[in-house]
Structure 1
Amino acid sequence: MSEIGVDAVLNESPRGQGEEALENVACGAISGIVGKYIEYPFDTVKVRLQSQPEHFPLQYAGPLDCFKQSLRREGFLGLYRGISAPLVGAAVETSSLFFSYQVTQDILRATVYPPSEVPAPQDLPFSALLLSGAASGAATSLLLTPIELVKCKMQVPLETSATSIRNLGPLNIIASIYRHQGVLGFWNGQLGTLIRETGGSAAWFGSNEGMKALFRRTGNSSATSKDGALPIYQQMTAGAAAGMSYNFIFYPADTIKSRMQTEDVSRLAGGRRTFGTVGKALWKQQGLKGLYRGCGITVARSAPSSAFIFTIFEELKRRWSE
């Protein structure tokens, strides 16, 4: 493709590109916040299951037992403990994912897949969509790790005695992290977030795109609307499949990350532990089962959450364009 052709693609309708970027950010933020309210109690249970110390008897027998103990000790609102940081994180994460996903596709269209080589402006090979998803996840991980660090520490309050717990607010947690680990301490668990987000986002976007393509190929195109959008139930099915794929495949990386981020670093003699050290210790103590502890409830809650995220995002985008 000539240099003029590349410039034409990148510079085409700059006002329209800026508006589309704003759409992705705004619609992604709204859909992410809605999805977070749906999934957060289940996420709290997941983090508490993941963060049980490997050298102590397990505190929770399973997800239901964790729910019961949490409700008994803290009430239902306790399951929403620390949601302020995740709401910000959900808005940042989802808007960044959709924005980066679109930007990567635009770059690929301008370089690797010029318009003359694809049948329509919106079409890219499935491999390119996977690459776009992975790139969006890698970029988002840098923004997400500090937010998830605060979230995880709020979800797993410190036990000060056998009968009492100590709940710290977000500002106290931020101050404690900076005091004990400095600025870089906010990216404790970054490798786990990077692995989860890079691979998980490829699976997230890829599963959604794959399911939508499958619906269109299996004779359901007559059910689509005038603008080519799938029916709501098919959009939600594709989104649900995406959420389950995202969480299951790279779940061990998330487990290791949660353990790293819920450790009380002030009590660690040698400072914070590395991703590999935590992973090896968990594997030695609990094996594969420990790496997937809490996975069932995570996959279950991710189905409705992602279904709403993708559906709300696509419906908001469609209405924005009208």
Structure 2
Amino acid sequence: MDPASTLNPLSQAATAPMHLKSRTAVTEAVEDILYGSIAGVVGKYIEYPFDTVKVRLQSQPDQLPLQYKGPVDCFRQSIRADGFLGLYRGISAPLIGAALENSSLFFWERLGRAAIYASGYATREQPLPLSALWMTGAFSGAMTSLVLTPVELVKCKIQVPAKTGDGVVRAPLKPAAVIKDIWRHQGWRGFWHGQLGTLIRESGGCAAWFGSKETVSKFFREWNERSARTEEEREKVRAADALPLWQQAVAGATAGMSYNFLFFPADTVKSRMQTTPIGESAAPQKTFARETAALWKQAGLKGFYRGCGITVLRSVPSSAFIFMVYDGLKKYFPMQ
């Protein structure tokens, strides 16, 4: 998010009457939830086929030879078996999850900024330092992980083609059936299986997501100002509400790559935990620590980054569009 687009409403709220402050806070929250949801759905449609391949690469069993040689081979085998639309298997739950995730991220990130202002660490009249923005991103990710784990659990179980004892691939699972089985075998606590992995990935990854986006945006704003030939041009750059579209895209893409690469090992362990057969997820050997040790013993460091390349690749357009859609909606369709 562009600090200029978020600081002005807050600054106005600081000097407004109490009833207008409440109205402004509610309006901002509604914008975060609605526009974040729309941006998340757009991003999910772009990235989902790549996410399916990533989960299948991550969840290959320890005791068997690797089924896929790499992302391209996984794409080829998946399309041959199910067609291209098979790569969108189980997208209904992730669409809901994407809406929840992104609306939650932007909502909690704004609350994180408000908390920093309230602490007296910074004033609303000036943009927050980059270090503070990395902190608000981590806070946002930690809170969002609680919402995201159940959705990703259902998604992962649907994405991975399961086989019966004689090697026959069974029919794809449906979200309702997965939810029912998880509840029957593990109760409500079963929906947060893999929570530690999600927490590590989201808190660290979202610090990088928001922090990298703001860092690159700040670089572009300073670069645009230095590149201006006259004082008049520099004033236009300072007064601009948003960066040029291509610079917004680069900042968003950088954020996505940082998010996915830096904490990918935690996501790998989480995916392996969440793709175990229903009824076995609570087994002692499937704790985060034991699954980490098992993967290290099987494949070493390389195993933790299985599927990383395709994940980083998918994040370039997806994250760019998420920020562009969100910032664009905030700019052109502000709620009064």
TM-score by length of 1: 0.92
Provide the aligned length of Structure 1 versus Structure 2: 312
Match of 1:201 among 206, 221, 242: 206
Equivalence map 1:226-305=2 (5 Å): 227-266=240-279, 270=283, 273-305=286-318
Cα distance, 1:284 vs. partner?
0.4
Cα distance, 1:226 vs. partner?
5.4
Task: Write out per-residue CA displacement over residues 215-274 of structure 1, whole angstroms, 9 at most, x where no aligned residue.
Answer: 011135757595421011000000000000000000000000000000014357946610
Does residue 147 of the first structure (1) align with residue 151 of the second (2)? yes
In structure 2, relative to structure 1, the CA distance for the partners of 1:172 and 1:272 (3 Å cut) is farther
Does residue 156 of the first structure (1) align with residue 160 of the second (2)? yes
Letter paired with 2:57 = L
Q: Matches of 1:171 and 1:268 in 2, distance apart? A: 18
In structure 2, relative to structure 1, the CA distance for the partners of 1:269 and 1:189 (3 Å cut) is closer
More moved, 263-272 vs 38-47: 263-272
Q: Matches of 2:282 and 2:36 in 1, distance apart? A: 42
Q: Matches of 1:15 and 1:263 in 2, distance apart? A: 47
Identical columns (%): 57
Equivalence map 1:178-189=2 (5 Å): 178-189=183-194
Give the gaps of 5 or more residues in structure 1: 1-6
Match of 1:174 among 176, 179, 185: 179
Letter paired with 1:233 = W
In structure 2, relative to structure 1, the CA distance for the partners of 1:275 and 1:9 (3 Å cut) is farther
Match of 1:31 among 24, 39, 50: 39
Q: Matches of 1:80 and 1:224 in 2, distance apart? A: 42
Structure 1 runs (4+) deviating above 6 angstroms are none
SS in 2 for 1:136: helix
More moved, 126-135 vs 105-114: 105-114
Letter paired with 1:135 = F
Q: Matches of 1:210 and 1:202 in 2, distance apart? A: 11
Q: Is the 8 A contact 1:23 1:320 kept in 2?
A: no
In structure 2, relative to structure 1, the CA distance for the partners of 1:268 and 1:178 (3 Å cut) is closer
Q: Matches of 1:185 and 1:9 in 2, distance apart? A: 47
| Counterpart residue number, 2:84 | 76
Letter paired with 1:209 = E
Q: Matches of 2:278 and 2:240 in 1, distance apart? A: 53
In structure 2, relative to structure 1, the CA distance for the partners of 1:280 and 1:95 (3 Å cut) is same
Match of 1:95 among 98, 103, 118: 103
Q: Is the 8 A contact 1:204 1:245 kept in 2?
A: yes
Cα distance, 1:165 vs. partner?
2.7
| Counterpart residue number, 1:133 | 137
Q: Matches of 2:325 and 2:280 in 1, distance apart? A: 44
Q: Matches of 2:334 and 2:177 in 1, distance apart? A: 43
Q: Matches of 1:315 and 1:270 in 2, distance apart? A: 46
| Counterpart residue number, 2:223 | 218
In structure 2, relative to structure 1, the CA distance for the partners of 1:270 and 1:107 (3 Å cut) is closer
Q: Is the 8 A contact 1:159 1:166 kept in 2?
A: no
Give the gaps of 5 or more residues in structure 2: 1-12
Q: Matches of 1:9 and 1:107 in 2, distance apart? A: 17
| Counterpart residue number, 2:333 | 320
Q: Matches of 2:242 and 2:309 in 1, distance apart? A: 31
More moved, 218-227 vs 78-87: 218-227
| Counterpart residue number, 1:190 | 195
Match of 1:309 among 322, 326, 331: 322
